[in-house]
Amino acid sequence: MEISLLTKILFSLLGLFIVFNYGLLQAGVMRKIVARVAGRYGIPIYQPYIDLIKNYSKRTQITHGVMFYLGPVFRFSGGIGLFFFIPMIYGSVYWQNFSFSGDIILLMYFQFFGMLGMALGAGEGGQPNSIIGISRGLAQFTAVEVPFTLAIISIAVQYDTLSVYDIVAAQQGGIQNWTLFTNPFAVIAGMFAFLGLMRHAPFNVVMAPQEIPIGPPTEYHSTYLGMLQSNRVVLHIVEAVLFMNLFFGGATSWLELIIKSFFIYFITVFIGVVFPRYRVDHTVRWFLKIPLVFGILAVLFV
**pLDDT at residue 130 is higher than 70:** yes
Is pLDDT of 212 > 70? Answer: no
**Across 55-66, average pLDDT:** 80
Residue predicted with more confidence, 167 or 213: 167
Q: Cα dist. 32→43, 62, 138, 211 in Å?
A: 6, 34, 30, 23
Amino acid at residue number 115: M
Domain spans in the chain, listed from the N-terminal domain onward: 5-301
The string of pLDDT tens digits covering residues 41-55 is 888 999 999 999 998
pLDDT in tens, 242-290: 999 999 999 999 999 999 999 999 998 888 888 877 777 788 888 888 9
Split at pLDDT 50, 70, 90, the class of 1 is low
216-250: pLDDT as tens digits? 777 788 888 888 889 889 999 999 999 999 999 99
